Chain A
């Protein structure tokens, strides 16, 4: 294995570079996945049947909290990668842990929101609108949930093995995934919530 010390650790071997590029290709596919969900949402959002409309069930406060939590977590994992590039393992793990805690809080608010929707009669079977709404939000939420477990294992591995080309590469790829979830949320925040409440 040839290690190029002029590059950041996560980019230092050929394999690492291919892994990162491969993950970007996966993210390209994810963009398309969420595009199909948004396309379906825009088609169905006013087919509310006898159920409530978006304007009737959306509330600004939980949405704003979710947005701030996810935006901040995207910032902290960015700082984590920066600390990793400085070789500061302790700071990196601290930032990654803060990120996961913010992610957990986000998920908590989202679960509260889902329970609230079901409680006020906007469950997944109520109408075409509620079904695509909860499917879109749920797909994003499932990604966050997966990310929490993934991130936890990354932290444990860096703790155990230290910062090597392999663990740095995995951490960097995880950070790409996390930032991507924030990007998807920005679009959900703008074109589902804010558009719905406009």
Chain B
């Protein structure tokens, strides 16, 4: 993913006011040394530097503002190699949400390219997997709640429902300790390095055997399912339940 390097650069170079608006502010997530759920073969304790992450997933209304200003990302204009045929397919028109896409619902059916372009327009970037995972490990009271069975069950309960039932609006559930909403329970989220979480010839990760290995730490398997989902996607893919939020480097903030 050549684009990734460029995007990181863009994030670092960011300065000035955000176009994201006060409605979805970037909140600080303190750095930490962290046990990742990524399958073995990668280092499993990683240092994540402090960063900023948007309070909730980007909404239909926020994404509509973006495509209004960036014609090239409107449905019908975005090239297929950057966004598949179902890109924003639930909107009633290129600049119209309609009855199947409420303003306060997270935007879905967006490709990785589109998500990254959106973040770039906010002088931001997608979070890396490790950043996202660190933020997602929190509950309302703990920075690392991953060994809490109640926390885990809450995530799994969401997994257990098909996505066809309609997405919840943002910020219906309580925030975690960072003030972040809806990290779990509404949509999957793109991350910057989604395509390198699993080795390129991902055989052992993708079918028999991987489950057993990774389930040695069973508190990780809820997170592992997210890795599996991301691993099944290509950057132009969209999905009914995948959205995103943006991140920024701490030093890039005014």
Q: Please determine whether chains A and B interact with each other in the same assembly.
A: no
List the interface of chain A (C-beta within 8 A of B): none
